[in-house]
């Protein structure tokens, strides 16, 4: 028997599509006339291809035994047509009957083989552009009617449909509706959406070679992966001028991402109501998914990610992405951004371009931050003030006042020896340098990203995209919910609009909801502060007899301050995670309630709400420790209490609150990153491992491509949004509070190296292929990053000035050192004020029933952290002149640092243009060529028309398209 080869691409014994199999001139059997499961598989006058001649069927006799053993339902691809099929075959005799049985059985085998790795219809020719799945349930009649009307309208639009019966699915319940968009439909909607397509090869030489380019060889990917498509000049597609563009093959002219974007545009606007009903609200695939008419709607991945497609006509971009991008061991390689854009669309491509660029820039910040930390380690032994604290002569003889009422006792200063040494690692001269460096780094990052983004905008045909697309395309939800209509001044067409009264009411309700949730966060933070105040006294009472001193390793480091800080930070982190889960749904709900007009407006509104919430949620505790803790304490005998309660405001350690801010930052930032990686990587990996294990144990669980993709998780419209949000929150941690923890960029760098590959792995292996979308930038996140960059300069200057002890030390060294030497000897004694113990209120003394082991009648004074006159002075307990000198120095430091950094930022922004000069030249040349080529095209077209009308003698240029000199065209374009 001869081998019949079609375009199904499998390794089956016979590779012929069922469509060809059932169009045989001898038996006259037509599958499409009998098989309702292939609804719409032939559209717009297409006819099935005849069976190729020369096929030998002398082995049909060998199939009789197998056919006899099959149930009647096994004779056909579609069970509903079995009786008719068998009746038709029974009417044949002799060789014709044997041939029909053979072809029927062969088509079933061929279909099963093809389905494992095919993205084509059963004819093996038409590509599956989109898949809808559904199941029959109790409410089947209503949903079936909706599906019937919806699918009929899709056919009227020009789409071609083909249904896979539920008997072909693994669960035996799911139907799959495969959708194909023919050339006419794609061309029409490409014209509507102004899809840019090539019209001329790029003739500008690439001079991007850099000196010593060979050093980057280990980090490069193969050329066909980095640049899967040639470089062309492009122009918006015009269906009436299709011969103007470089169309070699209509089947592959539009990429798969462009095809599924067009399909989703159609599906989102197609109705499922009768014309006589006039219910305009019944429109779009999203509503059908929400009401359960369909269970899923998705484009197919092009092949299985672990192997190349065996079909030469099917692309293997997913396999290439998994091999060169989605594996962790490729972490040092560059990202194939052009291939990502080709497969997933520009919006996802822009995200990974930004994430990769952000990670590259983090490398420089991580190096400088690590150097500053190493500097702290190297100067560890030169820390004079810590030596004084730890000294028995100084710190051992200084008795400090109680840090809380009643349960807290007097304590020796040298008990804070360890925390003082730890604080020096982050609170040193290198901290000031690093704070200034990060202010400049964030400017360089944002400016260089603008240049990188401008280059991508040109290379990916996104120049002027926002004005042409996002501002004019209405959301289907907006069109369906807004019944009022008015004239659009731009399009001069009637369009729906939301009345101003309804819009204001919805906006006010949305704003009130956001304020309510932000107030809830603040209330939770106040609760955590109350916990800190209450628990500190408990820890102090427990540890006053050194209950943890028997612990050999960590015992000396466990203090009431550390225990309180760590437990409060952990509780705060848990509250943050819980509030995040709750607010995510609330933010989506209130944004939907506002009914934004366009997709861009929807994303911007949701971005602002989520960022405001996350900003307060993640950073409020850090702001409290940095700028409020220890600032409103009072002094012994006149302490400040929280909201008039019995809880005394917290004090900072003698070494300052910087080490506690570092602890808070490490716990929240690291905890967030670890939890995010567990959610994003570990859980999907375990699910994938369990699924793979079951597949190995049950080989029959291999099923069709559309069913495999159906079972994958959905990336969702908010998937990319949350990825941006996660990175922006991280950006805030490494910029707003980086002066307290120079290693924050290093932790962020390590996380992002993992994040890039985890996101790539999830998108390639764990998620259905998302619908492609266009985006010319990172959107509202750009303005948020700019705002955080400005705020970071202010916060870091205030942290160095008010949270760190850097300024008081410098003031002491230069102005108050008693010996006039440039050292820190005597600083600790100078920074502590004296209080007379007899002035302590009775309420703060221990009860009579308690054992006052800490009390010593021989101690008459205690010390506290402040600059106040001692008892007996005429200005007793008033602030000293040194306090005002330090305050003036702090304010001067803030003003000088802010002005210097801002001047450098503005200078750098002025020096670095947002658009590279070569990109600007390419954009101008492309616009010039579009005008020139279109002009010549129209002229030639008119000449042809005139010659066809009998004016072949006329060779002059028509006056309505006069010849324009090139320099005039160029000047007009430029």
DSSP string computed for 448-513: HHHHHHHHHHHHTT-TTHHHHTTTTPBPHHHHHH---EEE-TTT-SEEE---HHHHHHHHHHHHHH
Q: Any idea which of 306-320, 683-697, 829-843, 869-883 has the lowest mean pLDDT?
A: 683-697
pLDDT at 219: 82
In degrees rounded to 5, what are phi and psi of residue 433?
-60, -45
The whole-number pLDDT of residue 236 equals 86
Residue 350 pLDDT > 90:
yes
Cα separation, 674 vs 577, whole angstroms: 12
Q: Is the pLDDT of residue 212 over 80?
A: no
Q: Closest Cα to residue 196, out of 227, 226, 229?
A: 229
Cα distances (angstroms) measured from residue 749 to each of 578, 673, 723? 26, 11, 16
Q: What does pLDDT average to over the chain?
A: 76
pLDDT greater than 80 at residue 495: no
What pLDDT, on the 0 to 100 scale, is given for residue 929? 81
Closest by CA to 224, choosing from 321, 329, 346, is 321
How many CB atoms are closer than 10 A to CB 546? 11
- Residue 21's nearest CA partner among 58, 76, 83, 91 is 76
Check whether 14 has a pLDDT greater than 80.
no
Question: Of the segments 357-366, 633-642, 847-856, which one has the largest average pLDDT value?
Answer: 357-366
Distances from the Cα of 167 to the Cα of 114, 705, 832, angstroms = 16, 15, 83
Contact present, 177 and 159 (Cβ < 8 Å): no
Residues 6+ apart with CB under 8 A from 322: 305, 306, 761, 764, 765
187 Ramachandran zone, left/alpha/beta (phi>0; psi -120 to 50): alpha
How far apart CA 583 and CA 586 sit, in angstroms, is 5
Cβ atoms 22, 30 nearer than 8 A: yes
Q: Which residues pair with 836 in a beta bridge?
A: 861
What integer pLDDT is reported at residue 744 of this predicted model?
Answer: 92
- Rounded mean pLDDT of 358-387? 89
Between 66 and 312, whose confidence is greater?
312
Is there a contact between 81 and 37 (Cβ–Cβ < 8 Å)? Answer: yes
CB 223 within 8 A of CB 334: no
Task: Name the most confidently modeled range: 6-15, 373-382, 688-697.
Answer: 373-382
Nearest residue to 359 (alpha-carbon basis) of 690, 659, 759: 759
- How far apart are the C-alpha atoms of 19 and 562, rounded to whole Å? 75
Please state the φ and ψ torsions of residue 562, each to the nearest 5 degrees.
Answer: -65, -45
pLDDT of 327 reads: 87
Could you tell me the pLDDT band of residue 554, with boundaries at 50, 70 and 90? very low
Q: How far apart are CA 370 and CA 387, in angstroms?
A: 25
Higher-scoring residue by pLDDT: 947, 363 = 363
Report d(CA 119, CA 127) in Å as an integer: 6
Structure confidence at residue 48 as a pLDDT band (50, 70, 90): very low
Residue recorded with tokens 């306090």: 883
**Mean pLDDT, residues 444-469:** 83
Any bridge partners for residue 131, and if so which?
Answer: 178, 298
* pTM (global) more than 0.85: no
Give the confidence band of 865 by pLDDT, cuts at 50, 70, 90: confident
Return d(Cα 728, Cα 789) in angstroms, integer: 11
Residue 391: its pLDDT value, please? 86
Alpha helix stretches (DSSP H) within 496-559: 500-543
pLDDT of residue 66: 33
Instruction: Measure the CA angle with vertex 434, ends 431 and 439; round to 5°.
Output: 130
Whole-number pLDDT of residue 949: 76
Residue range 929-946: average pLDDT?
Answer: 82
Is pLDDT at 115 greater than 90 in this prediction? no
Task: State how far the Cα of 919 lies from the Cα of 201, in Å rounded to an integer.
Answer: 16
Residue bearing tokens 């209120």: 841
Structure confidence by residue, pLDDT tens digits, 405-436: 777 778 888 888 877 888 888 888 888 889 88
Q: Which of 36-50, 237-251, 278-292, 442-456 has the lowest mean pLDDT?
A: 36-50
DSSP per position, 81-125: GHHHHHHHHHT--HHHHHHHHHHHHHHHHHHHHHHTS--B-TTSS
Given this model, what pLDDT does residue 972 score?
34
Q: Which of 58-67, 847-856, 930-939 has the lowest mean pLDDT?
A: 58-67
Beta-sheet pairing, 832-836 with 638-639: unpaired
CB atoms within 10 A of CB 750: 14
Give the pLDDT confidence score for residue 84 in this predicted structure. Answer: 54
Q: Enumerate the H helices of 737-867 as residue ranges.
A: 744-761, 780-798, 806-811, 827-831
Contact in structure between 193 and 199 (CB atoms under 8 Å): no
Q: What is the pLDDT at residue 651? A: 79
Average pLDDT on 641-666 reads 78
pLDDT on residue 650: 79
**What percentage of the chain carries pLDDT values higher than 70?**
74
Count CA within 13 A, CB hemisphere, residue 535.
Answer: 18
Give CA 561 to chain center in angstroms: 38
| The predicted structure's pLDDT at residue 411 | 80
**Mean pLDDT within 591-608:** 85
pLDDT at 892 over 50: yes
What is the Cα gyration radius of the chain?
36
Q: Which two tokens stand for residue 720?
A: 């990319």
pLDDT above 90 coverage of the chain, percent: 16
pLDDT score of 756: 92
pLDDT of residue 887: 93
Quick one: average pLDDT of 232-255? 85
What are the tens digits of pLDDT across the range 265-293? 899 888 887 754 455 567 788 888 888 88
- Report helix angle 94-115 to 82-90, nearest 10: 150
Q: Give the per-residue SS3 of 253-306.
A: HCCHHHHHHHHHHHHHHCECCCCCCCCCCCECHHHHHHCCCCCEEECCCCCCCC
- The tokens describing 164, both together, are 């896979």
List all residues 6 or more positions away from 809 whose beta carbon is below 8 Å from its beta carbon.
385, 824, 827
* Bridge partners for 175 per DSSP: 134
Task: Give the residue from 406, 428, 157, 183 showing the smallest Cα distance to 272.
Answer: 157
């Amino acid at each position: 028997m001869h081998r019949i080869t079609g375009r199904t691409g499998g390794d089956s014994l016979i590779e012929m599509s069922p469509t060809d199999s059932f169009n045989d001139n001898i038996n006259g059997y037509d599958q499409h006339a009998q098989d309702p499961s292939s609804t719409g598989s032939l559209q717009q006058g297409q006819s099935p291809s005849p069976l190729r001649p020369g096929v030998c069927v002398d082995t049909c006799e060998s199939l009789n035994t197998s056919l006899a053993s099959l149930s009647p339902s096994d004779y056909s691809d579609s069970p509903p047509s079995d009786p008719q099929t068998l009746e038709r075959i029974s009417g044949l005799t002799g060789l014709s009957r044997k041939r029909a049985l053979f072809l029927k059985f062969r088509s079933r085998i061929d279909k099963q083989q093809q389905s494992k790795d095919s993205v084509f219809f059963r004819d093996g020719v038409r590509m599956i552009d989109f898949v809808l799945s559904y199941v029959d349930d109790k409410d089947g009649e209503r949903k079936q009617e909706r599906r019937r009307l919806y699918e009929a309208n899709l056919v009227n639009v020009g789409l071609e449909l083909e249904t896979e019966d539920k008997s072909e699915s693994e669960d035996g319940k799911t139907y799959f509706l495969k959708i194909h968009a023919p050339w006419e439909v794609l061309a029409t909607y490409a014209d509507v959406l102004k899809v840019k397509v090539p019209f001329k090869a790029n003739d500008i030489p690439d001079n991007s070679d850099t000196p010593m380019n060979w050093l980057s060889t280990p980090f490069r990917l193969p050329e066909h992966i980095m640049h899967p498509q040639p470089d062309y000049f492009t122009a918006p597609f015009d269906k009436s001028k299709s011969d103007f563009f470089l169309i070699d093959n209509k089947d592959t002219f539009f990429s798969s991402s462009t095809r599924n974007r067009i399909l989703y545009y159609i599906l989102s606007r197609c109705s499922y109501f009768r014309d006589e009903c006039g219910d305009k609200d019944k429109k779009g695939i999203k509503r059908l998914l929400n009401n359960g008419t369909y269970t899923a709607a998705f484009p197919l991945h092009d092949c299985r990610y672990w192997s190349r497609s065996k079909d030469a006509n099917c692309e293997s971009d997913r396999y290439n992405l998994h091999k060169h991008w989605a594996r962790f061991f490729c972490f040092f390689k560059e990202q194939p951004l052009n291939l990502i854009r080709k497969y997933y669309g520009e919006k996802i491509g822009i995200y990974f371009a930004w994430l990769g660029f952000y990670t590259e820039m983090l490398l420089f910040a991580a190096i400088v931050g690590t150097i500053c930390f190493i500097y702290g380690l190297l100067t560890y032994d030169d820390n004079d003030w810590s030596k004084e604290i730890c000294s028995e002569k100084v710190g051992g003889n200084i008795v400090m006042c109680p840090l809380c009422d009643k349960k807290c006792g007097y304590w020796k200063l040298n008990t804070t020896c360890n925390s003082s040494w730890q604080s020096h690692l982050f609170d040193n001269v290198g901290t000031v340098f690093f704070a200034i460096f990060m202010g400049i780094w964030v400017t360089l990052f944002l400016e260089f990203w603008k240049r990188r983004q401008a280059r991508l905008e040109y290379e990916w045909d996104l120049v002027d995209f926002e004005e042409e697309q996002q501002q004019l395309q209405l959301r289907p939800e907006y069109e369906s919910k807004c019944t009022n209509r008015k004239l659009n001044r731009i399009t001069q067409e009637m369009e729906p609009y939301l009345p101003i009264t309804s819009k204001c009411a919805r906006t006010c309700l949305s704003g009130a909801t956001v304020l309510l949730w932000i107030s809830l966060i603040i209330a939770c933070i106040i609760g955590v502060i109350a916990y800190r105040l209450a628990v500190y006294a408990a820890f102090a009472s427990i540890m006053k007899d050194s209950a943890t001193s028997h612990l050999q390793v960590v015992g000396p480091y466990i203090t009431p301050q550390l225990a309180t800080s760590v437990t409060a930070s952990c509780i705060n982190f848990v509250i943050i995670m819980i509030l995040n889960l709750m607010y995510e749904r609330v933010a989506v709900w209130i944004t939907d309630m506002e009914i934004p007009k366009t997709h861009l407006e929807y994303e911007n509104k949701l971005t602002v709400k989520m960022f405001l919430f996350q900003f307060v949620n993640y950073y409020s505790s850090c702001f409290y420790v940095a700028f409020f803790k220890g600032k409103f304490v009072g002094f012994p005998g006149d302490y400040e209490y929280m909201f008039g309660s019995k809880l005394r405001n917290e004090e900072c350690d003698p070494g300052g609150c910087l080490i506690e801010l570092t602890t808070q930052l490490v716990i929240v930032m690291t905890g967030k990153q670890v939890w995010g990686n567990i959610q994003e990587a570990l859980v999907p990996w375990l699910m994938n491992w369990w699924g793979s294990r079951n597949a190995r144990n049950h080989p029959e669980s291999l099923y069709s491509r559309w069913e495999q993709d159906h079972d994958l998780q959905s990336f969702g419209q908010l998937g990319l949004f949350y990825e941006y949000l996660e990175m922006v929150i991280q950006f805030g941690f490494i910029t707003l509070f980086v002066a307290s923890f120079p290693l924050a960029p290093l932790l962020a760098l390590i996380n992002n190296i993992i994040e890039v590959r985890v996101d790539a792995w999830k998108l390639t292996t764990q998620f259905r292929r998302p619908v492609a979308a266009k985006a010319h930038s990172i959107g509202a996140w750009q303005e948020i990053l700019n705002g955080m960059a400005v705020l970071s300069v202010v916060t870091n200057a205030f942290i160095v000035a008010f949270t760190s002890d850097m300024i008081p030390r410098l003031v002491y060294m230069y102005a108050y050192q008693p010996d006039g030497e440039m050292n820190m000897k005597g600083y600790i004694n100078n920074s502590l004020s004296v209080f007379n113990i007899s002035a302590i209120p009775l309420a703060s003394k221990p009860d009579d029933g308690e054992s006052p082991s800490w009390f010593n009648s021989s101690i008459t004074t205690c010390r506290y952290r402040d600059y106040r006159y001692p008892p007996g002075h005429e200005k007793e307990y008033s602030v000293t002149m040194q306090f005002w000198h330090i305050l003036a120095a702090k304010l001067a430091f803030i003003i000088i640092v802010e002005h210097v950094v801002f001047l450098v930022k503005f200078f750098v922004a002025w020096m670095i243009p947002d658009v590279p000069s070569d990109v600007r030249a390419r954009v101008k040349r492309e616009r010039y060529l579009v005008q020139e080529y279109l002009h010549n095209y129209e002229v030639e077209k008119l000449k042809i028309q005139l010659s066809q009308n009998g004016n072949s003698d006329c060779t002059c240029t028509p006056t309505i398209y006069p010849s324009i000199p090139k320099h005039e065209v160029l000047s007009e374009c430029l």
